[in-house]
């Protein structure tokens, strides 16, 4: 191995086709993150609120909703790939059955749909974990605060906005940073559902699959380029490090504000 200075970074950022693939993968990774925040984490917060109202069967629902967390993302990806099969997959069959035939499509073969669908499957897997983090946060809020707010006449949205939500900010921070790190580490699900080439015309290509393809030559008959791969990993590291520092800075600010 010879030392070539920053040449790998120059190629990655400036030389085609690497630069195009790289910025595409960065864009897809952020898109993946945005979809996951909505599909997974908003759902998780709603489920956590539903599970902390002291209703009957809460324990049962909690157990069920957590099941996917323990399963392999890869195998879940395979199961959903079969269910999304355009010819005999259950998803299109259900749409046809309820009269929405014009919505059926080759989900994973579509440049527009493949990424959102993959993020939804990812959300299917991890919502349960985020639910439990939110539940832990909500259960830490003392009952007296609700009592006091109730006496002051707070109901519904106002109650959520002013009593439940503020103590959850640290949890929301943890959930966000976990989601972010998970997305920058994403590989298994994309590999299982659309392959290491990143789906139709690279529309689901994230940094994880781009790194794998480049460094270890997963497909396409290219020679593995470990140096370039290491440059991709370093860029990924920078994205994560910046976010983690920002997160720590924010929690530091909050801790100061509380004092």
Partner 1 sequence: MVKGKKDKLLDIFIYLFLIIAAFIVIYPLFVMVSTSLKTNMEVLVNPFGLPTEFNLDGYRYVLEVAGFPTFFRNSIIITAVSLFVLLLVSVMASYPLSRFTFRGNRMIYFYFIIGAMLPARLATVNMYQIINALGLFDTLFALILIYIAMTIPISIFIIAGFMAELPRELDESARIDGASDSRILFSIWVPLLRPALATVAIFNFIPIWNEFFFPLIFISSDQWKPLPLGIAQFFGQYQSDWPTAFAALTIAILPPLIFYLMASKHFIKGLTAGALKG
Interface contacts to partner 1, rule CB under 8 A: 43, 46-47, 50-51, 53, 55, 57, 61-76, 78-80, 82-83, 88, 90, 93, 124, 128-129, 132-133, 136, 174, 178, 181, 184-185, 187-188, 191-192, 208, 211-212, 215-216, 226, 229-230, 233-234, 236-237, 240, 244
DSSP 42: I
Q: Min. distance of Cβ 253 from partner 1 in angstroms?
A: 19
Nearby residues of 166 by Cβ (< 8 Å), 6 or more positions away:
none
Which of 67, 74, 46 has the alpha carbon at shortest distance from 129? 67
Residue (50 or 163) nearer to partner 1, CB: 50
> From CA 72, how far away is CA 125, in angstroms rounded?
9
Q: Min. distance of Cβ 209 from partner 1 in angstroms?
A: 11
Residue (114 or 123) nearer to partner 1, CB: 123
Contact status, residue 164 vs residue 141, Cβ threshold 8 Å: yes
Q: Min. distance of Cβ 170 from partner 1 in angstroms?
A: 10
> From CA 194, how far away is CA 218, in angstroms rounded?
13
Residues 184, 30, 112, 198: what is their CA dihedral angle, to the nearest 10 degrees? -30
By three-state DSSP, how is residue 224 classified?
coil
Residue (13 or 178) nearer to partner 1, CB: 178
Tokens representing 105?
A: 């499509």
Residue (3 or 57) nearer to partner 1, CB: 57
Contact status, residue 66 vs residue 133, Cβ threshold 8 Å: no
Q: Min. distance of Cβ 147 from partner 1 in angstroms?
A: 10
Q: Min. distance of Cβ 72 from partner 1 in angstroms?
A: 4
Residue (65 or 115) nearer to partner 1, CB: 65
């Amino acid at each position: 191995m010879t030392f070539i200075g920053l040449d790998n970074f120059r190629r990655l950022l400036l030389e085609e086709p690497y630069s195009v693939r790289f910025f595409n993968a960065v864009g897809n990774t952020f898109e993946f993150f945005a979809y996951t925040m909505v599909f997974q984490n908003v759902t998780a917060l709603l489920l956590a609120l539903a599970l902390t109202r002291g209703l009957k069967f809460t324990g049962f629902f909690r157990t069920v909703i957590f099941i996917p967390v323990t399963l392999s993302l890869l195998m879940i990806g395979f199961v959903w790939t079969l269910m999304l099969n355009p010819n005999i997959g259950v998803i299109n069959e259900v749409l046809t059955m309820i009269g929405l035939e014009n919505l059926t499509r080759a989900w994973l073969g579509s440049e527009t749909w493949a990424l959102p669908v993959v993020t939804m499957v990812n959300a299917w897997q991890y919502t349960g974990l985020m639910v439990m983090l939110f539940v832990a946060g909500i259960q830490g809020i003392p009952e007296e605060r609700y009592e006091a707010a109730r006496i002051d006449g707070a109901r519904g949205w106002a109650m959520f906005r002013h009593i439940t939500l503020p103590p959850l900010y640290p949890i929301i921070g943890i959930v966000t940073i976990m989601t972010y790190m998970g997305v920058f580490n994403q590989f298994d699900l994309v590999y299982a559902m659309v392959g290491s080439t990143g789906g139709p015309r690279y529309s689901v290509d994230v940094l994880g699959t781009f790194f794998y393809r480049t460094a270890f030559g997963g497909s396409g008959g290219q020679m593995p380029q470990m140096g370039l791969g290491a440059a991709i990993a370093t860029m990924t590291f920078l994205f994560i490090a910046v976010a983690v520092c920002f997160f720590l800075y924010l929690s530091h600010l909050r801790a100061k504000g509380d004092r």
